[in-house]
Chains A and B, each alone.
Chain A
């Protein structure tokens, strides 16, 4: 199995008539994603790459039947409205690709998502991909590249950096290690599906036998993963690398941020918290695939 996305999920693209939306809708389709249509207000009735375009998500739902996922390729100032529209229409998973979405807009989307039981990945995400099944967003680029780089296997991948998501999957594949699903959680301070949420999903996915995580300084996502392990809510082996050791600290954290988070957010704090609960934290990124291989072999998974 995989998490969040596979070839059966029915997907629309909001902003399908734009430069990125159109190009990415086609790449997603080529890889195997079941893209059923698109939405651009004012452009309903058109057809783009053989897909029908609707003016509203509600209209798309009425015409196409239930929609599982919407991928948003929309200018940042318009994201809040488009995301809320999709959630209200009944879409249960949103992938918010754009960068620079105002933070209070993200909070409003999060509030509605909580109320309606919907989830969103991003903003500022490259997307997610289940090898040989489907991709959402921009992950992998060309379908031929994505097929060559990513293979199926026992590892779940979660990352705070888009480029590193694909890099990790590729370097793991070079060691013969495939993945169930790759998730780029998004680069912003507040994201809909941070590491702890992704890790919980991997916990419940029987095919995922271990998780590889790329963490970064700032926020408390990695510390929350450590807490999940500590409480026995995540029980699979975890291999992690935390980026940003050399980055200057201080500018990123307001004083008020420090109190809620205590020692949270720092490189040392994250590495310490994860190691304390038995996670395998590597010191250099190039060690990651080899360490993962060792861990999988020790566990009899490989």
Chain B
């Protein structure tokens, strides 16, 4: 779930007329000083980081004047907290608290409804409150179509022990919290503590809002870069991978980095799963053998070969890997040879310098494994392919054996790339790729394998026996060419090597040259 910072959450609450302390976010100590001066009087400086217990780590400080506010901000900005660099502090007025409450909304899977939880005791975590004061906690499901009504909120407050004179204003706050959550497509929205100030106003002193990943597209105003559950900002490779996923709705590609700063010999493996359940078991198989995973990747839901290719290139752009492990559920409903072509294309282009074990069980698995094994001899490292009758444990064992036995060549050979075509016939693809068929090489080709292997049969031989589109270039680009890579990989191994599909990955070359890979 995409989490919002406290200051973003408070802006949302304020837009829905829930009072919040006066203040703003600051990215520099100087900004903090200006904000503190604007507010006048003592302020709070609050580190914006997704951790609990900020006060205990010096992340919440009182400042008596603007200079102190600037100093407090200087101590927080740029700090590393759980792989995360603090970029913002929130500077806001100090408030005098008379009482604390808790109010939260989550989406409840059992009732298939939003659920509001309210407590007349606040401040600490809601689990503790529920344990210590069960009589002060009340819940109600919310009809998602009608929304939370004032009378329901009032009764919720009553059940949690709120006294009569606070019941009406409290109900108003709760209804506004619901409206905030609904408008923001929030999976969870918490105000904790919700305070009664010494002046008698209800106010959100702290809040936590997480937005439904799948609804982030409706909320450009949040500026969420990657709609994925994370407790840190995305890495550069994650940004590159997310752009691939966002630009291609066919199938799923999920990329998450789990280890950084490792070297060859550290037993860190690039992981390429397919399907959540199978991936989890496959990861367990590697972890159980003392390996670490550089990343988690899932390409599933019938992705095109091009997406699997891009995933593999991104995985292999992590320096220091000892191996490559591809393994999913074992009995996939998708046509596995597309994935095999994507993997082999990536392996040839790198070229692959670490042993790879790939389990591609499921539809067309025989063809898939045959394609995978074509790579052997064309890349420095060994590639083994397995089908549904081999378990992920067996495959992890094989990878372990290959890694132990493998010595990489002293120098990395140059990988496969596009060749200058003598008589290029080209057309573009739906994700910005370009298919080039060198008719000079095609003329001498006896296999014409590109025609047979084309997934959508959009290639035919012309009167000279050369492969050309039988649909318009516009249609091919609009998606008739599904980037199956038949005219690339099958041609490379069975034809005359006249076909090449270039599939750009925005930002990857720049990343690799900076990281000195390849």
Chain A interfacial positions (CB closer than 8 Å to B): 19-20, 75-77, 99-104, 106-108, 110-111, 114, 126, 138-142, 145, 149, 159-164, 166-167, 169-171, 187, 189-192, 194, 214, 216, 219-221, 224, 243-247, 251-252, 254-260, 285-286
Question: How many A-B pairs with Cβ below 8 Å?
Answer: 177
Q: What is the bound-complex CA distance between A163 and B331, given in angstroms? A: 6
Q: Is B274 an interface residue (CB 8 A)?
A: yes
Contact in complex: A163, B275 (CB < 8 Å): yes
Is B281 touching A243 in the complex (CB atoms < 8 A)?
yes
**Chain B residues within CB distance 8 Å of chain A:** 1, 104-110, 112-115, 117, 125-127, 130, 137, 139, 143-145, 182, 185, 187-188, 190, 208, 210, 212-215, 217-218, 229-231, 249-250, 252, 274-278, 280-281, 283-284, 287, 300-302, 328-335, 361-364, 388, 391, 393, 479, 482
Q: Are B215 and A141 in contact (CB under 8 A)?
A: no
Give the CA-CA distance A104 to B213 in the complex, in Å. 11
Q: List 23 A-B contacts (CB under 8 A).
A: A103-B185, A103-B214, A104-B212, A111-B112, A138-B333, A138-B334, A145-B333, A145-B362, A163-B274, A163-B328, A166-B362, A170-B331, A216-B280, A220-B110, A243-B281, A246-B283, A246-B287, A247-B280, A251-B230, A255-B127, A256-B104, A256-B105, A260-B106
Known contacts A103-B187, A256-B190; A126 and B109 CB within 8 A of each other: no
Given contact pairs A166-B333, A251-B231, enumerate 11 new A-B contacts (beta carbons under 8 Å): A106-B112, A111-B144, A163-B277, A167-B278, A216-B280, A243-B280, A245-B284, A254-B106, A255-B190, A256-B106, A259-B137
- What 7 A-B pairs come out closest when comparing CB atoms? A161-B277, A163-B329, A163-B275, A102-B215, A164-B277, A141-B363, A141-B333
Chain A nearest CB from B246 CB (Å) reads 11
Complex Cα–Cα for A25 and B37 (A): 66
Cross-chain contact A104 with B280 (CB below 8 angstroms):
no
Chain B residues near A160: list those with CB within 8 A: 277
Evaluate contact between B275 and A104: CB separation under 8 angstroms: no
The reply to whether B276 and A257 form a contact with Cβ atoms under 8 Å apart is no
Residue in contact with B334 in the complex, picked from A141, A171, A187, A191, CB distance below 8 Å: A141
Q: Given A19-B479, A220-B109, A108 and B331 touching (CB < 8 A)?
A: no
> What is the bound-complex CA distance between A191 and B108, given in angstroms?
11
Please indicate the chain A residues that have their CB under 8 angstroms from the CB of B249 in the complex.
75
The answer to whether B331 and A167 touch across the interface, beta carbons within 8 angstroms, is yes
* Contact (Cβ within 8 A) A102 B278: no
Partner of B363, one of A145, A190, A244: A145
When C-beta atoms are compared, the residue in chain A nearest to B328 turns out to be A163
